[in-house]
Structure 1
Amino acid sequence: MAFRGPNATSGMGVADNSKTTFLELQRKKIHRYVIFKIDEKKKQVVVEKTGGPAESYEDFSASLPENDCRYAVYDYDFVTAENCQKSKIFFVAWSPAVSRIRAKMLYATSKDSFRRELEGIHYEIQATDPTEIDLEVLKERAN
């Protein structure tokens, strides 16, 4: 069963691989981040790229296209003021101002149903330019 039925609002399903890859990030820490894109021909959200545990936040932000929309999850590790090691998963809805109107609409209408498929997200960030996903933004949200 490679395809989950289309969502009534957007017509986008979620590829099984998308959920599996998210679970690998969440539970097994195999990935630092996952970039998802909508495959319009298949009418589903698919994995475009993953980053290994050693990859940096700069690697992640550089993986987001400057002129097209994407969804992404990032596993943010940090140390609290009490010196505890913590991890929070961020969902990023990336929609640059210069991307096509059709892409912005497609990603906007599919976001909620896709995000619901990924259980265990701690924070969500809507971003239209790189300053909105600066590492400082994640630090502030996580603390």
Structure 2
Amino acid sequence: MASGVKVDSACKQAYDDLHNRHLHSYLIFRISDDDTTIIVEKKGDKGAPYSEFVEDLRKAVGSGKECRYAAVDVEVSVQRQGTDGNSTFTKVVFVQ
């Protein structure tokens, strides 16, 4: 059974900007005050450090009784088998 909570169109636009255009470092989403829609609460500036995301998320959940969802654009560096150097790529990670 679906919850009946809808996703605001601004969420999709913000996610596309994060994932495809890398305009933000992270997004924090919340359920609207009337409990009907998921909305964007915070957009992290491009290049913002991960520590800023953690602090903004900590502030958003307050005492831990608030629910938040997030998408974080994380840069990953790996050494692939058979190569000498590292490869760097980005991955969007969802946090609930």
TM-score by shorter chain over 0.5 = yes
Residue of 64, 89, 94 corresponding to 1:91: 94
Gap runs ≥5 in structure 1? 1-7, 94-143
Rounded to whole Å, the distance in 2 between the matches of 1:51 and 1:14 is 20
Deviating runs (4+, > 2 A) in structure 1?
Answer: none
1:40 CA drift (Å) = 3.8
Q: For this pair of structures, how many residues does the alignment match?
A: 86
Larger Rg: 1 or 2? 2
TM-score under structure 2 normalisation?
0.83
Residue of 43, 48, 51 corresponding to 1:50: 43
Which structure shows the higher helix fraction?
1
Backbone CA RMSD of aligned residues: 1.3
Aligned residue for 1:124? Answer: none
Kindly, what percent of the aligned residue pairs are identical? Answer: 30
1:80 CA drift (Å) = 1.0
Rounded to whole Å, the distance in 1 between the matches of 2:2 and 2:95 is 20
TM-score under structure 1 normalisation?
0.57
Instruction: State the AA in 2 paired with 1:81.
Output: Q
Gap runs ≥5 in structure 2? 81-85
Residue of 57, 76, 79 corresponding to 1:78: 76
Q: Which has the higher contact order (CA 8 A, sep 6+)?
A: 2
Rounded to whole Å, the distance in 1 between the matches of 2:78 and 2:52 is 23
Alignment of 1:1-143 (within 5 A): 9-41=2-34, 43-64=36-57, 65-66=61-62, 67=64, 68-82=66-80, 83-93=86-96
1:42 CA drift (Å) = 6.0
